[in-house]
Amino acid sequence: MPGRGLGVPEAFERLLSPWIRELFALLTQLGDAWFLFTAVAFLYWFGNRRRGAFALSAILGALALTLALKGLFALPRPPTELHVGHASGYGFPSGHAIGATVLWGLLALVFERGTHRWRAIAAGTVVAVVATSRLVIGVHYVADVVIGIAVGLVYLGALLYVADWNPTRGFVVAAGLSLAALITNGITPDSAAMLAGIVGAGATWWALNGTPSGTVRLPAAVAGLAAFGAVGYAGNELALPLAGVFALNLVVPAGILLLPLVVERAKSGRSASPT
Q: Is 100 within 8 Å of 152 (Cβ atoms)?
A: yes
C-alpha–C-alpha distance, residues 97 and 123, integer Å: 12
Q: Is the model's pLDDT at 1 over the cut of 50?
A: no
Q: Is the model's pLDDT at 269 over the cut of 80?
A: no
Q: Is the model's pLDDT at 5 over the cut of 80?
A: no
Question: Which pLDDT band, with edges at 50, 70 and 90, does 172 fall under?
Answer: very high
Q: Is 171 within 8 Å of 198 (Cβ atoms)?
A: yes
Q: Is the model's pLDDT at 270 over the cut of 50?
A: yes
What percent of the chain stands above pLDDT 90? Answer: 75
Would the CA dihedral through 246, 247, 250, 251 be positive or negative? negative
pLDDT at 273: 55
194-222 pLDDT, tens digit per residue, is: 999 999 999 999 999 877 777 889 999 99
C-alpha–C-alpha distance, residues 67 and 18, integer Å: 30
126-152 pLDDT, tens digit per residue, is: 999 999 999 999 999 999 999 999 999
Mean pLDDT of 243-256: 94
Q: Name 94's Cβ contacts closer than 8 Å, sequence gap at least 6.
A: 131, 134, 140, 144, 145, 147, 148
What is the average pLDDT value for the chain, to the nearest integer?
Answer: 91
79-101 pLDDT, tens digit per residue, is: 988 888 888 889 999 999 999 99
Q: Is 35 within 8 Å of 123 (Cβ atoms)?
A: no
Mean pLDDT of 74-81: 90
pLDDT at 271: 61
Mean pLDDT of 104-131: 92
C-alpha–C-alpha distance, residues 75 and 90, integer Å: 6
DSSP 182-215: HHHH-S-HHHHHHHHHHHHHHHHHHHHTS----P
Question: Which pLDDT band, with edges at 50, 70 and 90, does 25 fall under?
Answer: very high
Q: Is 13 within 8 Å of 140 (Cβ atoms)?
A: no
pLDDT at 238: 87
